[in-house]
Structure 1
């Protein structure tokens, strides 16, 4: 009798419990507390509510001032993702990336034989939501490397002429996209869906309350640098760079509350329902 009861339990109960997780991957910078210093708890806590179990999340802290393939960058990211997957028994992972974080993730997804940890991460990852990824680089990185006025204006956002900044020069990213990285036009597709959110403008009107989301002084700085970019840009990246890899999920004004644009700073904040859209996507 006990034997038949056991078989009955096994017939209706799954042997393993699927675990869905999300990892937040920051952009350029050497982060030690990206939750507070890069994303904010409001953004992360809102997004992770879209998980079946909201505790299944991790916030990456790596040195993304380095070239994307280095141990400090992709190696660090792989180590933290692998640990998260193992510790939480994750079998369905979404990566939420911002800016240069998308390049580091694309390195892992494009080069599965580079590191023994990469294949498991690739196989576990179901979706990558890339917020304002610098897939095509930015003219502002060229300007920082050349040491002109942008070095002063963009120090808060880019840092200075680090290896990561050099990497995001337009010609350098064109080379990487044509050789080492997948997902751009004419190149093999990425093994994992890479969908982008594109920021198309910057608002900094002092009388407009929406200009204060993410910090008003940041908006002013990004509107200044936007003068050296295309008319469609988020103050740091042209729209063409943000949409160079993968597929476009949406351009900010297509979905945001009040059709507000997302500056490069606002695309990592809970501005204009961005957090809700990502939460519902998990």
Structure 2
């Protein structure tokens, strides 16, 4: 399979690391970055959809595909939810290509259960791969970019995190996954504020696409008969991710986008709604009356997925 057709070379010469890039969204992102001229570090541990040990070395297969199509890529198959694995991801980029410009964190898996059936191990495993798996690569990339800034080489650095509609609205049967993806949004906002001084922009994308993790949800292809457009193809999400990972996204940071098919939405998140200040402590009954008056004026919350 060839790389996607390049449109502008928007990432020409940039060095991009993509986690979870052996399959699905991460693979689509890696191929799209390579098509736009980036040199790509393709990370994937090669596990099954539930995190169990898997067969094959998908990171090496994707890197080989990029090279066969004339691009430049190197594989990294360590666990980025460990400190050593995350440090090795950044080190691989710097030792192979001389620098790191963009980090795309995408690695993850699912262990869906209703809350009363959710085991502690399933909670820990999903929080670990998604949330810790975003934090550790970010930490090591940020340390590298801070050192570059202190050396007088302020980078044009970009980080793209992967959240989910489950993290923004919640999803029945996915308490662990929803909590992790909501945490990624919080991490994104903090990182955008902390790292701006080092030339780093940090944004998040909440994608909807057909992958191993979502094949049951999107079992039926949403393809427009007239155009053949498959709205659930992971390749639809990648153009936004590539743009956010490029120098062309200058000035965009601390933002969350939804991406599905041909639709891109800027999510506006938590903002103060109706408010009332009594100037004194309320009784519980007074607090309840005030809360009900405010709720009557407030926008209703979005519907939880699966509800």
Question: Higher relative contact order by CA 8 Å / sep ≥ 6: 1 or 2?
Answer: 1
TM-score class, shorter-chain normalisation, is: 0.3 to 0.5
Choose between structure 1 and 2: higher helix proportion: 1
Give the structure-1-normalised TM-score: 0.41
TM-score relative to the length of structure 2: 0.38
